[in-house]
Amino acid sequence: MPRVLAVTPYLRVTSHPYRDVLESAGLEVVFPAEGANLADPAVLIGQLHGIDAVIASTERYTPEVLAASRLRVISRTGVGYDAIDVPAATRRGVVVVITAGTNHHSVAESAIALLLGVYRGLPWRHYEVHTGRWTRRALPRLMGKTIGLVGLGRIGRAMVPRCQGLGLKVIAHDPLADAAFAASSGVRLCSLDELLAEADVVSLHLPACAENVDLINARTLGRMKRGSVLINTSRGALVDEDALVDALRSGHLMAAGLDVFKIEPLPLDSPLLKLDNVLMLPHIAGLDQESQEATAILAAQSIADLYQGRWPSECVVNGQLRGEWRW
């Protein structure tokens, strides 16, 4: 019986609909050893011994890891797949799937929470109450500002009505944007430089890939308006954190709201932790009860489909394998 390794911690349960999906398809569900550090490639390779498919978290699937395994499918719980070497997986005939369409509402809500938090001064006002200091410093009003969405995929589109409900003008940059959606939603599409120069808030909603690494850097931060805000619920690789710290310290940026970082967990010596104008989350923007359930089921269903000869097109990253791929 083919074996599926369920890596994501919340999947370590004896009863769950995702298990029903896999087991009814004739697949066995197993878990990593307790305490196994899957960030260590040697440990990950050991845990993948005898495994045919994996429901993956943030552990890295390098060419070396893939070569040492017999994996047929990597099913990522989420939409980011930058921890997977997709070209190497494709060369080895490993299908990579994501759980598209399961967590965009959760990410959008988290981005809005970060935005409201920094505009209302929550990074420092919360701690002032704890210390008995009640500083009455006025902050800018959010209503009437312009938010620039960098990326207008599922999450970016989910942001639009939420932003407009707060009284924000919405502009967006995305070379692959759905122009009909933008037009019908009152969203003006523009170049990245135009967005950076015009937006009071820049919110990132695009994947991490080679061309997007450090997209937000000293130059692009310099293009942003003085007193503007950066929100990142996408990937830490998109932002040059040293340049961001400089912009926050100098006052060029009013604040930042971050759910993702270059290194996770964020090192305790990171200068970001010394700033009171940064509101941070531990990479959980896409996690709520509804998305957790839907993500687990879809991750399992994609594996079951592939095992039973169906091709989950909307979830497959390396679609070029279709036609030649067999379990």
Which position has the token pair 């990410």? 107
Q: What is the number of helices (H) and of strands (E) in the chain?
A: 12, 12
| Contact present, 71 and 50 (Cβ < 8 Å) | no
290 is catalytic: no
| Contact present, 235 and 80 (Cβ < 8 Å) | yes
Distance of alpha carbon 172 from alpha carbon 115, whole angstroms? 17
Q: Could you write out the DSSP letters of every residue in 53-115?
A: EEEE-S--B-HHHHHT---SEEEESSS--TTB-HHHHHHTT-EEEE-TTSSHHHHHHHHHHHH
| Contact present, 230 and 253 (Cβ < 8 Å) | yes
235 is catalytic: yes
Cross-strand bridge partners of residue 271: none
Count CB neighbours of 116 within 10 A: 14
Identified catalytic residue from 264, 290, 310, 314: 264
- The number of residues in the chain equals 327
Active-site residue list? 235, 264, 283
